[in-house]
Structure 1
Amino acid sequence: MADAKPGAGKGSAWVGRLAWPLLGMAITLGLWAVAARYISDVDVIRSAFAPQAGLKALLHLLGSGELWPHISTSLQRIAIALVLALSIGVPLGLCLGLSPLFARISGPTFQFLRMVSPLSWMPLAVMALGVGEAPVIFLLAFATVWPIMLNTAAGVAALDPAWMRLAHSLSATRWETIARVVLPGCISHILTGFRLAVGIGWIVLVPAEMLGVSSGLGYFVLDTRDRLAYDELMAGIVVIGCLGFVLDWLARTVSSHWLQRG
């Protein structure tokens, strides 16, 4: 019997890996089509919500360039918010993990604030920061700081106490202990918190961008609703889902590569 070709197994594996996602997408499109048929008694509205109309509008919006500025603006906002969340959440998480006194004093307050929906702060954010970019970024940073902070604290708590004793026996300073022992030891927890923050921030982004701004995917969805352009609305929803999927994949990929390198 002739030996199988070396690439045959890899080829079949790739087919298997692609077949199931494609089947899932086909089922999703089918459910979308069925739901569009029953969403309204008006034929024009039903046809506007159908997959054919939404995908056609998506191709038109991307081809004409109308959607790209909104995509760029939303990605810039989420990037700025995540940088702020990292710069605040990691130090706070280290303080929670390293200082039992700080954890006892601030822990209940942080838990209380974490359970308040970021969207609840919309009116206060507008009054304090005005209308524009600042309140949107504030809401995104407020939503994304908690998973980073709590996962950082969990990473510190999971450190082997022997490492801390070794650093102390070597007369390492507080900063040297944090930089050489604590941060490398809890980096996996920080990356997990960052990935969770990306997902939470992307979910909060759309309603936050309905807050007095004139660009972004949230604004685009609100604008299409007001214009009764339901096909474009569905196109916007598809773009939001695709970008969210890509952002999560990027965060997961960066995390896995970093951990493998370490």
Structure 2
Amino acid sequence: MTFSSYAQTPQPTISEITQQFCEDLSKKLRTVKHQECLALQLHASFKHQSVEQRPLTYKEVVPKPNTLPPKGRILFIGGIHGDEYAAISLTYIWLRTLLQPTTSTDYHWLFLPLANPDGLFQSPATRTNANTVDLNRNFPSPDWQKLALKTWQTHTGANPRRFPGDNANSEPETQWLVQLIERFQPDAIISLHAPYGLLDYDGPEHALPNKIGHLRHRALGTYPGSLGRYAGEYLNIPVLTLELRSAGTMPSTQEIQHMLKDIETWVETKIGASD
């Protein structure tokens, strides 16, 4: 299936693609305004698109000119599950905050605000991508071939919302994420989800968190093909997963600010201090 807005002939420019993307996004999420999205100046991958040929967008935030080199590299992923509206919206809000002229950072951030655009733009939105694959079960962890489908059948009763795909790393969105992790070499990965209302963590013990805002640490465990299993356990990258309390209701403004402050503290004390 081809999404016609992005599959025009002749091929649209990256600027035209991101303009269309922002227009569509603002119609889907009331918290993301069209002009605010355009102001982010998102980039779209040249080589990778979603199943339905939507752009896979990203934005880098680096220390201001004439400052010291970045203390580390942080990958921030939102929207792996397209039906988690609040998590997607909050990723855009935090990206916008970091880009404000009055905000400074000592780190190199790579934001992927919407890793699963096809899931969000379905009617209704879906956890899975357009191939009905749960991207958070499709990462190429070493145990995928042996355990992914078996675990899906025995632990979830073959729940279609958690289908890991027929093969590891089969989806264009997952392939994009894997390639970015390989190229960016993040010192930590932060992933935003909903609605379990907790803080999960996978990776080396030195970066184990206590809390982010009202979210307290409670280990959920990992699954074959999950980001935590692949990046946290296999690649040994600290993977911090924020699970908001609601997929459809935003936290308060005060809580949003509190969480962002705690994220910055975690990065500074657990990631920057580990070098």
Higher helix share: 1
- Give the structure-2-normalised TM-score: 0.25
Which structure is higher in RCO with an 8 Å CA cutoff and minimum separation 6? 1
- Give the structure-1-normalised TM-score: 0.26
Higher strand share: 2
* Structure number with larger C-alpha Rg: 1
